[in-house]
Amino acid sequence: MVYTLSMRSNKGQTINQREWNEIMAQPVVEKFFEIRSFERWDDFAARVYGAKFMIDDGISETYILYTLVGEYNKGDVLMLKRVNGHFIE
């Protein structure tokens, strides 16, 4: 079976303060970006480019895809999927 994903908009949306804090709390993000224990969300957002996209799988699931690119990971991209308010690895 082939699934077609469609983006509700091809323009990335801004990540808000609450989302940045939730993103920073994810273990994969902490490790990938070497988050320091004292780092605030606005400091993290200043050194990491982030955007969110609303994705629809065309069948039953709509989710948010966060794309993060930062200075410490040498250009690698980390993508996080959020379904029904929960991050999925």
Alpha-carbon distance of 6 to 20, in angstroms, equals 24
Going by the DSSP 8-state scheme, the letter that residue 59 receives in this structure is S
Domain extents for the chain? 6-88
pLDDT for 55 beyond 60: yes
pLDDT for 1 beyond 60: no
Q: Decide the pairing of beta strands 48-56 and 6-7.
A: antiparallel
What is the average per-residue pLDDT within 16-24?
Answer: 96
What is the average per-residue pLDDT within 56-69?
Answer: 84
Q: Which residues pair with 56 in a beta bridge?
A: 6, 62
Alpha-carbon distance of 24 to 20, in angstroms, equals 6
pLDDT for 26 beyond 90: yes
Please indicate, yes or no, whether the overall pTM of this predicted structure exceeds 0.85. Answer: no
Query: Can you give the pLDDT at residue 3?
Result: 45
